[in-house]
Amino acid sequence: MTDIPLLSLAIWVPIIGGLLVLATGSDRNAPLARMLALAVAVAGFVVTIPLYTGFDVGTSAMQFVELQSWVPRFNINYHLGVDGISVLFVLLNAFITIIVVAAGWQVIQNKVAQYMAAFLIMSGLMNGIFSALDAVLFYVFFEASLIPLYLIIGIWGGANRVYAAIKFFLYTLFGSLLMLIALLYLFMQSGGSFSILDWHQLPLPIEPQILIFLAFLVAFGVKVPMWPVHTWLPDAHVEAPTGGSVVLAAIALKLGAYGFLRFSLPIVPDAANELAPLVITLSLIAVVYIGFVALVQADMKKLVAYSSISHMGFVTLGFFMFNKLGVEGALVQMISHGFVSGAMFLCIGVLYDRLHSRQIADYGGVVHTMPKFAAFFMLFTMANSGLPATSGFVGEFMVVLGAVQYNFWIGFVAATTLILGAAYSLWMYKRVVFGKVANRHVAELEDINGREFAFLAVLAVCVLAMGLYPFPFTEVMHASVNELLRHVAVSKL
């Protein structure tokens, strides 16, 4: 292994780069800010590549570990490391950042430097979340990442942006502060350690386990978001600028799900087993009920937002099956959802930039004026509905298989998402893209330009590659998932 602190680079290159972009100041220097932001985003991605190429798939131990004392007074350490569960998210995050920077290239004309800087800083913070092995470090990144997104939604968002931004912030803050108390309790119980890995070994009686589990459930459940604390997400998505929606859907939602795997399952396994029916019920409600809610949306962004909640319900469902297919399927689903939902929001963004409307009713017959776009949009819509040969299929299929292993009827209910997903995605696609040209504005639409083509094509390749050959993704996670499941099966009472 090299001595280069790769994870630190993955975190701090975007953050420091973001500060540099911020320093370019006013909009007179906007071209410079854009170029610099792109350079930083690419550099941020490049430094994460060795994380994958140098990753040892044979072990479940943490890799690329960095350990330094941060606040000795409370034994808080700057402790980083990734395993098969987290490494892919670091890569995904760095990759999506490039797309987001590209997506905001022309659309954002106001406070460009601040926009780009906010995304870069957020990207670094989120890499920190995925690689933190110290609970306070995790918490610090987890909360700090709210600030840039709050600003992104609030400054560059739509008409009702202030409400959405504040709602987003307060919901997530509430969840995470309850988690903070659980973390402080664990700190006390473990005799003064904030190390997540130490906590994995810490025996706990069942009552505190249940309380800790519930605190984590609120924190991560809000972030995922799970039914019934999902209501911030449609607001945030609808009001956020395209880039904000992409990051929110592709990465930020994964933070909650990741938290379940890093905290809830290994630290309080008995409570997780005890309360699995609760989480499974909530997940199924999200999958089915939110699927129906998505069906009736008139706003495209809202529709995709609800579809995200439904897909994330699938993820939490997979985790709490406690079998390998379920957990791996859920992880694959998370990565896939990162690509697909990101792409969906980009497609909607492409339309919105031209027509300034997200209402399905304002469109119709887009295929006549934007054929290239329609092709990409179709691929992503299919992936969103879980068509085989796209990435969406792999994860959903694995989770459904895992669910059937666990309990046939749960698997049965979960499988309805394949129908519902197809229904709302394809119906929206039909109304927007096919049919006669709906109005004068649609007739004047211009097809996607080179820049838009580039980022949609890259995502399309990812979606197809992952759908046809998911092995490079699942290979990485095997050892860690096995270890996690072994750990969950052992009681800590």
Partner 1 sequence: MNFVVPDFYPAAAEIFVAVMALVIMLASTFARSVARNLAYLLTQATLIVAAFITIFTMEGEVVHTFSNLFISDLLGDVLKLMIYFSTAIALLYGRGYLADRKIDKPEYYLLALLMTLGMMVMVTANHMLPMYIGLEMMSLALYTMVAFDRDSARSTEAAMKYFVLGALASGLLLYGMSMVYGATGTLEFSGVAQALYNQTANQTVLMFGLVFLVAGICFKLGVVPFHMWVPDVYQGAPTAVTLVIATAPKLAAFAMAVRLLIWALFDIAEEWQMMLMLVAAASIVLGNLAAIAQQNIKRMLAYSGISHMGFMLLGLLAGVVEGDRHFALNAYSSAMFYAISYVIMSLASFGMLILLSRAGFEAENIDDFKGLNKRSSWYALMMLFVMFSMAGVPFFIGFFAKLSVLQAVVAAGYFWLAVLAVVMSVIGAFYYLRVVKVMYFDDPIDASPIHAAPEVRVMLSANGLAIAALGLAPQALMSLCAFALLRSL
Give the span between the Cα atoms of 278 and 193, in whole angstroms.
30
Asked if residue 373 binds partner 1 (CB under 8 A), the reply is no
Minimum distance from residue 77 beta carbon to partner 1 (Å): 12
Among 1, 61, 162, 389, binds partner 1 (CB under 8 A): 162
What's the token pair of residue 13? 């290159």
Query: Out of 174, 292, 427, 453, which residue is the one contacting partner 1 (CB under 8 A)?
Result: 174
Nearer to partner 1, 116 or 442 (CB): 116
Residue 203's Cβ-count burial label (10 Å; 0-12, 13-18, 19+) is exposed
9 touches partner 1 by CB under 8 A: no
Q: Name residues contacting partner 1, limited to 47-106 (CB under 8 A).
A: 70-74
Residues 141-160 interacting with partner 1 (rule: CB under 8 A): 141, 143-144, 146-147, 150-151, 154-155
d(CA 219, CA 199): 18
Instruction: Tell me whether residue 43 is exposed, middle or buried, using C-beta atoms within 10 angstroms of its C-beta: 0 to 12, 13 to 18, 19 or more.
Output: middle
Say how far apart CA 336 and CA 384 lie, in whole Å: 9
Q: How far apart are CB 154 and partner 1 at their closest, in Å?
A: 4
Q: Is the Cβ of residue 114 or residue 264 nearer to partner 1 in the bound state? A: 114
| Residue 437 token pair | 């040209």
Q: Could you please report the per-residue DSSP string of 391-451?
A: HHHHHHHHHHHHHHHH-HHHHHHHHHHHHHHHHHHHHHHHHHHSSS--SHHHHT-----HH
From 4, 181, 454, 457, residue interacting with partner 1 (rule: CB under 8 A) = 181
**Min separation Cβ 191 and partner 1, Å:** 12
Tokens linked to 403: 């669910």
Q: Which of residues 101-120 bind partner 1 (CB under 8 A)?
A: 111, 114
- DSSP string over 374-386: HHHHHHHHHHHTT
Letters for 308-347 (x = contact with partner 1 by CB under 8 A, - = none) are: ----------------------------------------
Stretch of 170-178, 261-269, 317-325, 461-469 contacting partner 1, by CB under 8 A: 170-178
Q: Should residue 191 be labelled a site residue for partner 1 when binding is judged by CB under 8 A?
A: no
Q: Cβ of residue 353: shortest distance to partner 1, in angstroms?
A: 21
Structure-token pair, residue 3: 């001595």
Both structure tokens of 152: 């992104």
| 274 near partner 1, rule: CB under 8 A | no
For 414, the token pair is 């979960």
Q: Count Cα neighbours of 140 within 13 Å in the Cβ-side half-sphere.
A: 16
Q: How far is the CB of 180 from partner 1 (least distance, A)?
A: 7
Q: Is 166 in the site for partner 1 (CB under 8 A)?
A: yes
What does the alpha-carbon distance between residue 211 and residue 285 come to, in Å, rounded to a whole number? 23
The beta strand positions in 18-175, using DSSP E, are 63-71, 76-82
Q: Is 32 in the site for partner 1 (CB under 8 A)?
A: no
Please identify which residue in the block is written with the tokens 């904030």.
194
Q: Please give the single-letter amino acid code of residue 369.
A: T
Query: Which residue's CB is nearer to partner 1, number 153 or number 370?
Result: 153
Shortest separation between residue 279's beta carbon and partner 1, angstroms: 22
Distance CA 444, CA 287 (A): 38
Using the rule CB under 8 A, which residue among 38, 39, 177, 355 binds partner 1? 177
Contact with partner 1 (CB under 8 A) among 32, 184, 418, 465:
184
Min dist CB 190 to partner 1, Å, is 12
Q: Given the complex with partner 1, which of 139 and 377 has the nearer CB atom?
A: 139
If the CB atoms of residues 180 and 438 are measured against partner 1, the closer one turns out to be 180
Q: Is 208 exposed, middle or buried (CB count within 10 Å of its CB: 0-12, 13-18, 19+)?
A: middle
User: Which residue in the set 45, 64, 115, 169 belongs to the binding site for partner 1 (CB under 8 A)?
Assistant: 169
Amino acid letter, 457 = A
**Which residues here bind partner 1, judged by CB under 8 A?**
25, 70-74, 111, 114, 136, 139-141, 143-144, 146-147, 150-151, 154-155, 161-162, 165-166, 169-170, 173-174, 177-178, 180-181, 184-185, 187-188
